[in-house]
Each structure stands twice: as structure tokens, then as C-alpha cells.
Amino acid sequence: MKYIFILFLLVLGCSPENKELTNIFRYNEHKNISSLDPAFSKDLADIWATNQLFNGLVEMDDSLNVKPSIAINWIVSDSAKTYTFTLRNDVYFHNHGLFGKDSTRTVKASDFEYSFNRIKDKQIASPGSWVLNKVEDFYAVNDSIFEIKLTQPFPAFLGLLTMKYCSVVPKEIVEHYGTDFRANPIGTGPFKFKRWEENLKLVFRKNNNYFESDKQGENLPYLEAVAITFLPDKQSEFLQFAQGNLDYVSGLDASYKDEILTANGKLRDNYSNDVNMIRGPYLNTEYLAFYMDSDVSEIQSEYIRKAVNYGFDREKMMIYLRNGVGIPAHGGFIPKGLPGYSQKSGFNYQPEKAKKLVEQFKTETGNKNPEITITTTSNYLSFCEYIQRELQKTGLLVSINVIPASSLKDSKANGKLDMFRASWVADYPDAENYLSLYYSKNFAPNGPNYTHYKNDQFDAWYEQAFTETNTLERERLYTKMDSLVMASAPVVPMFYDEVVRFTRKNISGLGINPINLLELKRVKKTD
């Protein structure tokens, strides 16, 4: 089968009608792809693939602004609880050939009604069903008007609708294939499905009926095809990129970070002539957390929690352990790149202040040997060891407990860890997503408040933000909430992650965004 597929690719590339197929964007997905059905686009690997095949009502640009996609425009009414979308009339599902030679049709509002009902269907068991938790009702008013009613105002709702779960799918195709729709996707996106040899290669072809064009009026996409391979490890992936067999790699793996980057995060000379690097903020906060309901006096002490925050140099940590990739977390919990972030909310390196705070704890408690234990996984052991060395200079003893990721996840959810390393990647691009970790009604294990932080003023502001329709005022509320949390220091933000992308020099138009979405419709590849 493998050789048949390779022969297929050779024929595809050499036949006269496909002579332009040298214009192929090639990347590797080492984590594999589990489904091409957008209702199951939970992992980044699946999201990258389905983003080429499907569209929703709206989409996110590289600056995290919500903009039209299949919806031309929308109106928000009824005290911000009703969203009325007007759809384009020139969006077509991909030609699939199932019901005749020209098997395509325009998208109608009833297609969104079907697609949303499918997400909610418990028998389908979409991991994206939570996106509609605050939705009371939705329906097609007519072919071009789709209406959604919320149970309560939720300013981040448009951001949720940009997720691939909310893509439109054609009922007749989904019902024809059933569960096999995962490997026979029909959408409206800039590329259409061509062939998938699981664990080997996945091929998309240009959708010549795609509805978007550039500012000059040229139809998108520019590429003729996308080819995805499935090499299982990052080192092999990077080797193929270095040899020119891949056009793009994402992320900075420990296996090659020193090979391609200098200590301060610059491309090494032997790559700078052939490779472009683009980087920017990623909506991921890496942090240490204290369990505020712990019986351990050091964890209960604001002196110790703040001493940990002041007691290590985040700048040096980024240089030594990440080759300068990552933003030292001198702000609060909301990461840089997201509205609501403020550098004034957090802590900087003040070793003398950290020592004084530890001494205050010793004096007030009589505990001459204060000690904390950081629980982590092996992947982040080097970060915790760095912090351990730095904090011991303040007079604080630090132990490290390394456990499997599955054990850490279960233990932090059930309040079994006094202090642990964690990260929070945004489910949707709104600071409310980060602040939900400190709302008292979200105590773990029934919600994401793993620290069991509780503050009545925070809860009041958090609830107020849901009804605040003025964007700037809501962002100010977010900043105030973030500062309030950090004043008690239930967490120690270490760094805000960055998206790092490497492309060959002949690739342009890729761009970068804080949610690390792979957008290929505006990418160009020259010979």
C-alpha cells in the first residue's frame, strides 16, 4: 500500500493537468492526526488540518480580532444575548462526486443549524460540546439568516465561535459516511481533501471554488496543494527540514534548539541564509501553583509565596533553558499578547527582598528551616531545579518531587499537592479563560481553580465582566482582577510561551498568531 501511494503522488505530480503541483506546502505532524472531522478538532494537530478544510461563521485574525468568514456581518441585541448572523451566498461545499459529477451546493443557514445540533448530540460525543454551554437556542430564520440566543451575556462568545468545532458541515455527506466522515471530510475551506494514508501522508488540493480573495482580487489560496507527513519525532522532522524536504517546522525542541539558535535566541549563521524564523507571543502561561487550602504553614504564608516570586531570575532562566524563546513572566497570570495583560501586576527579581520575606516568616512562626516541595514532571525538571538553586540562596529549603504527567493531573485536581508546576493554554482568546482559574465557584475537581483561591471582590468583578459589553472597560476589569490575584500570590508565573516558526526562504505570507493556528490560504511558495 505504501508503494501504491508513492506511485500515486508521482503520477499526481507529473501528469499534464497537474504540472503546477510543485507549488506544494510540506510540513510534518509528529503527533499524528486522529480525525479530519471538525467536531473532534481538540488537539492542535487536528485543528491545523481541519482549518484548511472548513470554515465557520467567523474567524480570528493574527491580532485576535474576530472577523467575518461565512457570515458577512452580525448584530448583537437583546442585552447582548442574541446574535443574528447574515450569511454569504457564494460559499460552496467542496465537490465530492457522491451524487453526480458536479456534487456541490451553497451553504445555507440550515447547515449551521444541523452542524451545531451535531456538536450537542450526546451520541456524537464531540469534545467541543462545551462551546454551546451558554446557548439557549439557535435556528435558521431563512436560508441566509442564522440566529443564536444565549442564556446570559457572554462577551467571549464570538471568540468561541471561531473554534473549529463550530465549522459548517453538509448533512447529506455526514450521514452518508457516518463515523467515516473523519476520513472523508467535505467542507468549504481553501483546500479540499484528496488522500489520506494514515501514519504515512495526507494530501489536500486547492479549492478552486473558494470564496475569499486578496486585496488585489486574486482568488485564494495561492498554493496548489498541502502535503503532511507523519514522522514520529521532532528530531527526524527537523532533519528533514534542514535537508530541504519540509517547508516549515513549528516549535523549539530540546533535541535541536542549540543546533539552530544561539543562547540569546538568534538564528545561527549556518541557517540564516536558508531559513526564516518568526516568533511571537503564545497564549500559554507556565507557572507554579500553591494549594491555598493546604495545611502546610509555608504554603499558607504570603511571605513565602511572595519570596518564591521574587527569588529567581526569570530572564536568566529563559536564556539558559530556552535559548531566549519565551517571555519572562514579570506580569500577572494573563499572558502577554492578550488584552488585559499588565506588567504592573506581577513580580521581578529581587533576591534581597525574597531573603527578608523568608526571615519574616522565620521570626513570626519560629520555624528556622522553612521548606517547600515542588511537584513536577520530568519535562520541566530543569526549570524546577533552576528555581530550587535560586531559592535556596534566600534561606528557603526546596525539594522536588517528579511524578508522571497523569499522576500530576489527577493529584492537582483533587488537592493532593501543596505546590506544583502547571501550564494554562487558552481554550479561546479571551482573558476570562485565564481568570476562570480563580473564581471560587470553579474549585477543582469541579472546575479549573486548582489553587482554591477565593476572594469576594474578585468574584464580584468576574461576574460583572460577563455583563460588560464595552470592550475597553471589560479589559480594565480583567487587569484589576489579575492584579488582585497576584497581590495574594497563589501562583508563580514563570514565563509566557512564544510561538516559534521556521520556514524555508521561499515561503512567504505564513504569519504568526498567539493561538498558534496554522493559516495557509495566504501562503506563497516560489521556486
Which residue is associated with the grid cell 511537584? 375
pLDDT tier at 449, thresholds 50, 70, 90: very high
**CA separation (Å) from 64 to 81, 136, 281, 361?**
22, 26, 12, 43
Query: Does residue 415 have a pLDDT over 50?
Result: yes
Number of other residues whose CB lies within 10 A of the CB of residue 511: 16
Query: Does residue 1 have a pLDDT over 80?
Result: no
The average confidence (pLDDT) of the chain is 91
pLDDT tier at 12, thresholds 50, 70, 90: very low
Given this model, what pLDDT does residue 287 score?
Answer: 97
Query: Does residue 3 have a pLDDT over 70?
Result: no
Query: Does residue 521 have a pLDDT over 80?
Result: yes
Over range 109-115, report the average pLDDT. Answer: 98
pLDDT in tens, 279-316: 988 999 999 999 999 999 999 999 999 999 999 999 99
Please report the domains of the chain, with CATH numbers, ordered by start residue. 29-190 (3.90.76.10), 282-498 (3.10.105.10)
Q: Cell triple for residue 378?
A: 520530568
Query: Does residue 215 have a pLDDT over 70?
Result: yes
Distance of CA 13 to the CA centre of its chain: 34
Return the percentage of the chain with pLDDT > 70, whole number: 95
pLDDT in tens, 25-43: 999 998 889 999 999 998 8
DSSP assignment, residue 64?
S
pLDDT tier at 21, thresholds 50, 70, 90: low
pLDDT in tens, 45-77: 999 999 999 999 999 998 888 999 999 999 999
pLDDT tier at 6, thresholds 50, 70, 90: very low
Helix or strand holding residue 328 (H, E) = strand 327-328
Preceding peptide of 232 cis, ω within 30°: no
Three-state SS at 220: coil
Query: Does residue 211 have a pLDDT over 50?
Result: yes
pLDDT in tens, 116-135: 999 999 999 999 999 999 99
Listed residue (83, 238, 232) closest to 145, CA to CA: 83
